[in-house]
């Protein structure tokens, strides 16, 4: 049950602290996904809520659900207009040389029979490349790893995972695709959607801050102060 994972709820929205390992969409392997829990998240509504955006299976933290179609349309438009404030925490496999920065690196999909598909950095003008921008801040360092806050402007598939590897030069710990050498250091990709805020006309924003994950603490890191504009 996910009822105890609710961070925000009103007549339009639910923000859920999605557990790591739970896919948003039903996966090909038949594993339990968010879809299997939607009926338990109606809270008196006839309609099941729907996910407005996606988090990777391994990623924990703030996931927005819309409780009716009109709200879903408004929230989707806010994401598309880049009006949504998002921040993520990640533990990366090395310590960046700078304290903060911005990664401007377009992304495109590549696929091979041997390795399957993945996203890679690309020249902005390359065919099928999509612009992607991520701001980042070094929060702490411990045992050769770093706790980093990412604030993405765009929401491309695997954006932060590729920007960590190709922009910062350090893959996210536990990432099985972009950080194979670090895969044994954690049971999952250590990426956490810590904060989400969606503006609404005439109403307070839909907003929540997800608790610091236990597996991040197990790596020797303490919960950081929230961003100044959260």
Active-site choice (4, 25, 56, 128): 56
3-state secondary structure 167-201: HHCCCECCCCCCCHHHHHHCCCCCEEEEEEEEEEC
| Cβ atoms of 60 and 26 closer than 8 Å | no
Q: How many CA atoms lie within 13 A of 16 on its CB side?
A: 29
Buried b (16+ CB within 10 A) or exposed e, 175-193: bebbbeebbeebebbbbbb
The question of whether 29 is a catalytic residue gets the answer no
Query: Which residue bears the tokens 């999909």?
Result: 109
List all residues 6 or more positions away from 36 whose beta carbon is below 8 Å from its beta carbon: 26
Q: Residue 164: exposed, middle, or buried by beta-carbon count in 10 A (0-12, 13-18, 19+)?
A: buried
What are the residue numbers of the active site? 56
């Amino acid at each position: 049950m996910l009822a105890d994972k609710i961070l925000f709820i009103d007549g339009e929205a639910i923000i859920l602290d999605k557990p790591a390992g739970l896919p948003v969409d039903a996966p090909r392997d038949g594993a339990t996904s968010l879809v299997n829990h939607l009926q338990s998240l109606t809270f008196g509504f006839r309609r099941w809520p729907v996910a407005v955006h996606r988090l990777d299976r391994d990623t924990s933290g703030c996931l927005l659900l819309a409780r009716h179609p009109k709200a879903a349309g408004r929230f989707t438009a806010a994401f598309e207009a880049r009006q949504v404030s998002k921040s993520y925490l990640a533990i990366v496999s090395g310590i960046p040389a700078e304290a903060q920065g911005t990664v401007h690196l377009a992304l495109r999909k590549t696929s091979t029979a041997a390795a399957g598909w993945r996203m890679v950095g690309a020249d902005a003008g390359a065919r099928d490349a999509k612009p992607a921008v991520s701001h980042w801040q070094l929060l702490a360092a411990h045992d050769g790893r770093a706790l980093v806050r990412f604030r993405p402007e765009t929401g491309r598939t695997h954006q932060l995972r590729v920007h960590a590897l190709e922009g910062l030069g350090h893959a996210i710990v536990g990432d099985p695709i972009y950080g194979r050498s670090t895969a044994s250091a954690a049971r999952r990709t250590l990426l956490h959607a810590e904060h989400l805020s969606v503006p609404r006309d005439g109403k307070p924003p839909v907003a929540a801050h997800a608790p610091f994950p236990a597996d991040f603490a197990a790596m020797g890191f303490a919960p950081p102060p929230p961003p100044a504009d959260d």
